[in-house]
Amino acid sequence: METYVTTKGQIVIPAPLRRKYGITEGTKIVVVDNEEEIILRPMTHERIAKLRGSLKGTGTLQMLLDERRKDKEKEDASYKGA
């Protein structure tokens, strides 16, 4: 399938693909540039449901909490130094 870019930089996703991937008006699309191609990933309710729990057991939550703690420490240090 082919599509074209408009003068405003917009593209039309062909109807068969919109139906296949459940893309409707207002669906958020994530655009990924992997240096070789552009990938469009629709963030539909089904896709989000499939992602739930996919990071379970990877320590991601603890990493996030550690990063937030470090950021807060930096903010506190810069505030005291000001």
Task: Quote the number of domains for the chain.
Answer: 2
Per-residue pLDDT band for 10 (boundaries 50, 70, 90) equals very high
Q: Which domain holds residue 3?
A: 1-51
Per-residue pLDDT band for 55 (boundaries 50, 70, 90) equals low
Residues 16 and 44 reside in one and the same domain: yes
Q: What is the dihedral of CA 27, 1, 32, 19, to 10 degrees?
A: 20
Residues 61 and 36 reside in one and the same domain: no
Instruction: Write the pLDDT tens digit of every residue in 14-49.
Output: 999 999 988 999 999 999 999 999 999 888 777 777
Residues 38 and 76 reside in one and the same domain: no
| pLDDT in the model for residue 82 | 61
With vertex at residue 56, the alpha carbon angle to CA 66 and CA 24, rounded to the nearest 5 degrees, is 105
Considering only residues 56 and 39, tell me which one the structure prediction assigns the higher pLDDT: 39
Residues 65 and 46 reside in one and the same domain: no
| pLDDT in the model for residue 18 | 93
